[in-house]
Chains A and B, each alone.
Chain A
Amino acid sequence: MARITASVYSSHVPAIGVAVDQGKTGEPYWQKMFAGFEFSKQWLKENTPDVIFLVYNDHATAFSLEIIPTFAIGCAAEFKPADEGWGPRPVPVVQGHPELAAHIAQSVIMDDFDLTIVNKMDVDHGLTVPLSLMCGQPSVDNFAWPCPVIPFAVNVVQYPVPSGRRCFNLGRAIRKAVESYDAPLKVQIWGTGGMSHQLQGPRAGLINRTWDNAFLDRLVADPAGLAQVPHIDYVREAGSEGIELVMWLIARGAMSDAPPKVVHRFYHVPASNTAVGHLILENQ
């Protein structure tokens, strides 16, 4: 049977992708931020899963306002890096895992979560930036991500976005789905976005270190309690775009009920407009 071995949490700021693509990771502005992921890159090399289930959000790239799915699972064989207006990122095409994705879709829909099945989709910085942070820039002679990835897009752009509680329960349904897959796959689930940031209006630039760090504490120790936090707390305390953090609860819900092992924790301000948070949790 397949199983979830670990979860990874990270911000997905577009400027991080630009820094990687333009070879600026050693510049003083970026040095500290990327240093926080050195351990993570090594960890992923030593713990490469068979599949990564990557929870992220699309930023008006694959989904315009024509169709706004709350939860969309990528079931295609591959996903191309999108052109977000600055040209596509020079990163590898993402290889999917259609068999596992179809299995998860079937199981999770049977568990009352209405997933949208997506068989054709480009992926934007929300998905490719966490891969860059965790894998670095793939070498020219082996230009590929280390394993297949199932993109799972959550609407956090048009309000109301799904509640933390719903996200956490969805994570549990995903866990159940993975555990019923009849092949011995090691699966990691990643939750991305956040932490505190606001990109719009006169309050743009908001950062809340205290709230972010309390979120990290609770995500580890009390995720079910954290899942009860209402939307307004995210908006007010972590900025209008800080609401992306509900996606971390999907990944956390997919972990075992037993306390996880905290392998790595990192927090840094700023990357562009955003507070960068990062956690690696292993199932024991």
Chain B
Amino acid sequence: MALEKPYQDVPGTTIFDAEQSRKGYHLNQFCVSLMKPENRARFKANERAYLDEWPMSEEQKLAVMARDLNRCIALGGNIYFLARIGATDGKSFQQMAGSMTGLSEEAYRDMMVSGGRPIEGNRYTHEWEKK
């Protein structure tokens, strides 16, 4: 019998479960490596060469190089791990989170200051399909 995953019916959200974690293991471990300054320097000097040292999929590597965090998450990345890429780029958590929403940095910050994204209309995937 299949496992029940009710969290798949939440729009704009990917839950980092055991299945995602399995897919993203090497991607996330690459991110962990960026906690060491010498690795950050090597990555910055030649991203492709550094990524090629990891048994990641080509898709994962391209998503990292494009800094496409939504794609990274779809391919098994987790935001707390991906944050190491942002730290390497000198980006804050807010800049990273905002980059996944389609809003500009200013628009995202303004949304947060005025109380954040409301819950109404954002609970179930069918609420987004109508949009």
Residues on A facing B (Cβ under 8 Å): 14-15, 29, 59-61, 64-66, 83-86, 157-160, 196, 198-211, 231-232, 235-237, 240-241, 269-270, 272-273, 275
Contacts and interface: CB of A to CB of B under 8 A. Distances in A.
Chain A binding surface SS class: loop
Contact of A83 (B7, B21, B35, B115): B35
Contacts of B49: none
Contacts of B113: 29, 270
Given A60-B31, A158-B78, A198-B13, A205 B21 contact: no
Nearest to B35: A85
Contact of A240 (B15, B34, B98): B15
A236 B116 CA distance: 15
A200 B100 contact: yes
Contact of A202 (B12, B83, B88): B12
Interface string B26-51: 00110110110000100000000000
Contacts of B108: 204-205
A158 B11 CA distance: 19
16 contacts: A64-B29, A65-B28, A65-B29, A85-B87, A158-B16, A158-B21, A160-B18, A198-B13, A199-B97, A200-B73, A204-B117, A235-B7, A237-B119, A241-B79, A269-B112, A269-B116
B104 interface: no
Contacts, number: 151
Contacts of B88: 85
Chain B binding surface SS class: helix
B3 to A, nearest CB: 10
B119 A60 contact: no
Contacts of A159: 7, 15-18
Interface residues of B, number: 52
B70 A202 contact: yes
B122 A206 contact: yes
B87 A201 contact: no
Interface of B: 6-7, 10-18, 21, 25, 28-29, 31-32, 34-35, 40, 69-70, 73, 78-81, 83-84, 87-88, 92-94, 96-98, 100-102, 108, 111-113, 115-119, 122-124
A199 B117 contact: no
Contacts of B112: 205, 207, 269-270, 272-273
Contacts of A209: 115
B84 A85 contact: yes
A206 B119 contact: yes
A57 to B, nearest CB: 9
A100 B84 CA distance: 34
Given A157-B16, A198-B13, A202-B101, A236 B80 contact: no
A66 B31 CA distance: 13
Contacts of A199: 79, 93, 96-97
Contacts of B80: 59-60, 157
Given A15-B92, A65-B29, A200-B13, A205 B117 contact: yes
B78 A211 contact: no
A154 B99 CA distance: 28
B119 A232 contact: no
A236 B93 contact: no
A41 B94 CA distance: 27
